[in-house]
């Protein structure tokens, strides 16, 4: 069986929910305490055994390329000033033995279209996708949990989360044939159904393992909701030919593409931050909310 060695980060979206911050800067570079969202995602991929990071970038996303490039002036300055721990911090942004690739999506035509931009790099292999604005805190990296399911089932695997029924119109929602604990054999998937129309409250969130057959399915998709090429529609096509599983992962997800989700993540990560947590807790205690 082919190993999962490549991950795609679609980071070419416009991030309209986070304007004006995202007018000229990528939302994936927003920091949670001191680290940008995209670096959390890259670290999750590395700790799941991924060897190639493929970024699908758009016009305002060059900061992401710079973040994963070396920075000789900064490094020299840190060497001169003997700031060893900061130097280590900067040098380990790209984990060892990992290669980065950048592909430009010429216009934001949807998540399905963005993933398809990686086709020539992925070729004929199963691969992972991480949406960096879904930050997931877990004991075992969420992507590793999905990869383990892939090795058992040899099928496409979608990360699932039980959401409030009132929220179904923000997610792809699945219906299933059967379940074993947290693992579901998926029967159907619908993009953003209204709470009345949704058959379940099981939402697909920002982690996926795909078989390479997804590319030919994306090619058949016509623009759907928001005139975008939706990955949901391609998954629906894939299910007609092969099994698709969903897995409710262990962990807590923060929707950092929304302002409230971003604030929640900032608070929770600050509360656990080695240098900051004590002072931050003291500060919060003094706030009379």
At closest approach, how far in Å is the CB of 277 from ligand UTP? 29
Query: What does the alpha-carbon distance between residue 128 and residue 210 come to, in Å, rounded to a whole number?
Result: 6
Sign of the dihedral through C-alpha 285, 139, 184, 130: positive
Number of H helices, E strands in the chain: 11, 13
Q: CA 261, 263, 264 angle in degrees (round to 5)?
A: 65
- Name which of 13 and 270 has its Cβ closer to ligand UTP: 13
Among 39, 105, 156, 211, binds ligand UTP (CB under 6 A): 105
At closest approach, how far in Å is the CB of 200 from ligand UTP? 21
Among 50, 64, 114, 163, binds ligand UTP (CB under 6 A): 114
- Name which of 114 and 203 has its Cβ closer to ligand UTP: 114
Measured in whole angstroms, the distance separating CA 206 from the mean position of its chain's CA atoms is 5
Helix (H, G, I), strand (E, B) or coil at 163: coil
Answer for the pair 126, 101: CB distance below 8 angstroms, yes or no.
no
Query: What does the alpha-carbon distance between residue 139 and residue 78 come to, in Å, rounded to a whole number?
Result: 33
Among 51, 60, 95, 109, binds ligand UTP (CB under 6 A): 109
Give the binding range for ligand UTP (CB under 6 A) out of 7-15, 69-77, 79-87, 238-246.
7-15
Does the protein bind ligand UTP through residue 111 (CB under 6 A)? yes
Does the protein bind ligand UTP through residue 110 (CB under 6 A)? yes
170: Cα within 13 Å, side-chain hemisphere: 13
Does the protein bind ligand UTP through residue 119 (CB under 6 A)? no
- Name which of 20 and 72 has its Cβ closer to ligand UTP: 20
Among 5, 17, 153, 187, binds ligand UTP (CB under 6 A): 17
User: What letters, b where the CB count within 10 A reaches 16 and e where it falls short, cover 7-29?
Assistant: bbbbbbbebeebeeebeebbbbb
Other beta carbons within 10 Å of 97: 7
Give the binding range for ligand UTP (CB under 6 A) out of 4-12, 85-93, 178-186, 260-268.
4-12
Does the protein bind ligand UTP through residue 191 (CB under 6 A)? no
Answer for the pair 248, 182: CB distance below 8 angstroms, yes or no.
yes
Does the protein bind ligand UTP through residue 13 (CB under 6 A)? yes
Number of residues forming the site for ligand UTP (CB under 6 A):
20
> Can you say whether residue 162 is alpha, beta or left, with left for phi > 0 and alpha for psi between -120 and 50 degrees?
beta
Does the protein bind ligand UTP through residue 257 (CB under 6 A)? yes
Does the protein bind ligand UTP through residue 172 (CB under 6 A)? no
Does the protein bind ligand UTP through residue 108 (CB under 6 A)? yes
Give the binding range for ligand UTP (CB under 6 A) out of 13-21, 43-51, 135-143, 264-272.
13-21
For ligand UTP, the binding residues (CB under 6 A) are 10-18, 56, 105, 108-111, 113-114, 131, 133, 257
């Amino acid at each position: 069986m082919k190993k999962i060695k490549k991950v795609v980060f679609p980071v070419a979206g416009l991030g309209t929910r986070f304007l004006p911050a995202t007018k000229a800067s990528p939302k994936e570079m927003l920091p949670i305490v001191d680290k940008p969202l995209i670096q959390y995602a890259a670290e999750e991929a590395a700790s799941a055994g991924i060897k190639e990071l493929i970024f699908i970038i758009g016009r305002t996303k060059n900061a992401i390329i710079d973040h994963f490039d070396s920075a000789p002036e900064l490094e020299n300055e840190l060497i001169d000033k003997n700031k060893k721990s900061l130097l280590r911090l900067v040098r380990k942004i790209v984990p060892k033995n990992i290669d980065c690739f950048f592909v430009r999506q010429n216009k934001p035509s949807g998540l399905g279209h963005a993933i398809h931009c990686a086709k020539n790099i992925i070729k004929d292999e199963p691969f992972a996708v991480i949406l960096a604005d879904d930050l997931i805190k877990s004991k075992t990296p969420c992507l590793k949990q999905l990869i383990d399911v892939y090795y058992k089932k040899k099928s496409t695997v979608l990360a699932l989360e039980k959401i409030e029924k009132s929220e179904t119109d923000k997610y792809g929602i699945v219906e299933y044939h059967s379940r074993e604990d947290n693992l579901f054999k998926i029967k159907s998937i619908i993009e953003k159904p209204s709470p009345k129309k949704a058959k379940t409250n099981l939402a697909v969130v920002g982690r996926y393992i795909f078989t390479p057959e997804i590319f030919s399915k994306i090619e058949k998709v016509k623009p759907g909701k928001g005139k975008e090429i939706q990955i949901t529609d391609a998954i629906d096509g894939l299910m007609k030919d092969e099994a698709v599983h969903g897995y409710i992962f262990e962990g807590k997800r923060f929707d950092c593409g929304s302002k409230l989700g971003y604030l929640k993540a900032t608070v929770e990560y600050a509360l656990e931050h080695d240098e900051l947590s004590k002072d931050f807790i003291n500060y919060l205690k003094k706030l009379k909310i």
